[in-house]
Each structure stands twice: as structure tokens, then as C-alpha cells.
Amino acid sequence: MNTEAPSADDVARYLRAHPEFFADHPALLTDLTLPDPQRGNAISLMERQAMLLRERVKAIESRLAELMQIGRANDHLARNLVEWARSLLSEADSAQKAHVARQELQRIFGIPLVEVKIWGDPPGAHDAAAAELVSSLPFSRCGGALEERLADAMPAQWSHARSVALIPLRSTAASYAYGVIALGSSDAARFEASLGTAVLDRIGELAGAALAHGTSLASAIDPSDDGAA
């Protein structure tokens, strides 16, 4: 006759296969004791279960608070983007749109350095290296200081930039970049390479259409777009 006691795994498998066990033996919930991981004294199985549930609730509440914070930040970012787009729409003089784009990016988003560079087609000798670099970017890019071939086309204060975001400007009808929006900061973490570029790409789409040959900003907005960033 086999009298070997069941292993812990055997007991666990049995309880999983018979979830009604404790309902049939409710006294065990208070008779069985477990060590309290916080105080070290023994507590009942029911108390231990309640403790686990409280811990799970706290974890869920913490995650919910984090998601709400992210949601508020995204909402604030979306409002800023709409305000910036409205400022471009409100500027009737196409020759002033680049200035408005730069000024309002600084004001609304609090960016220390903003430069909007637009070159001809083909670009002049002074802009050729910068145009080649920017046209090679399929999307916006964040990273360290400006590369030399673009830094040469920027004002002197850009030498203090420790992190930079580059937003290519393209018209809807062309793949080459006819210009660039450069965002810079002396804070190395402001535009670090790991930063997401979804909002920057949206700025590039809007500005790319608004600044190309005096095109209206409205043409950059897809009527089927639900507005999500």
C-alpha cells in the first residue's frame, strides 16, 4: 500500500482542479495560517487572500493614475498642436508663415531654439549640404548636437544646442525636402534620440504643406483623419 504523502505540487494541482474545495470546507480559511510577509506573524488564509487583493488593487490604481497622467499630457500636447496650426491658418501673408511657424513653436511649446530653413530648388551652394542631409531623412529625427553640414547654415547660438530635433519640410507632391524645422535645446535630454517623433512628424506634415509655395494649411489636413496624434 502506497502511504507516501502528496507533494506540494500534488496539493496545488488538486486545489486548482477542485475550486469548490474551500467552499465545502470554509473553516480551513481561518484555521490555516500563513506567514505575514510584512510583519512576520501568522495570518489566516482568508487574511492573506485579502492582502493579495489589496496589493492588486493598489497596483491597478497606480497604473490607472499613470494612464490618466499620460492622457492629460497627450491632451495638452494636442491642444498646443491645434493652437500652433491655428496660428498658421490665421496668417494670410504666405511670406510671413515661416516666421509665424518659428515664433509660435517657441512660444506655445516653450522650445529655446527654433529655426525654419527653406531653400530653393535646386538649393544654393550655401544650403546644398544641409538640403542633402535633410532630404535623406524619411521622418523627423531627434538626437545630439547638429551635424556640421547643417550647423554651418544655422545662427551662432545653435553652437550651444546639446539636443536637436530635425523636421523635414516636404510638399505633398514631392519626396525631397525643400526645407527643415530645427528645434534645439541646451538640455541634452530635451530631444534625446529615444524620443518619439509622432507629434514632430505631424508638425512636419502641416508645416510642409503650409509653407510650400504659399499652400494653404487646410490642404495638409486629411478630411478622414479623426484628429488623433
Question: Looking at residue 105, what is its pLDDT?
Answer: 94
Q: Per the confidence metrics, is the pTM higher than 0.75? A: no
The grid cell for 157 is 547660438
Q: Which of 174, 173, 169, 134 is nearest to 150 (CA)?
A: 134
pLDDT for position 183:
95
Contact 149, 129 (CB under 8 A): yes
Contacts of 224 (CB under 8 A, 6+ apart): none
The per-residue pLDDT for 124 is 77
Q: What is the structure's pLDDT at 107?
A: 94
Rounded CA separation 32/15 (Å) = 14
- DSSP H/E element including 211: helix 198-211
Write the pLDDT tens digit of every residue in 64-107. 999 999 899 889 988 999 999 999 888 888 889 999 999 999 99
Q: Give the C-alpha separation, 229 to 227, whole Å.
A: 6
Query: 140: exposed, middle or buried (C-beta count within 10 Å: 0-12, 13-18, 19+)?
Result: buried
217 DSSP 8-state letter? G
Instruction: Determine the pLDDT at residue 190.
Output: 92
Residues of the chain short of pLDDT 50, as ranges, are 1, 214-229
Alpha-carbon dihedral sign for residues 154, 158, 159, 163? negative
Show contacts of 123-128: CB within 8 Å, 24+ apart. 126/153, 127/153
HSE-CB for 209 with a 13 A CA cutoff:
16
List 163's β-bridge partners, or say none.
185
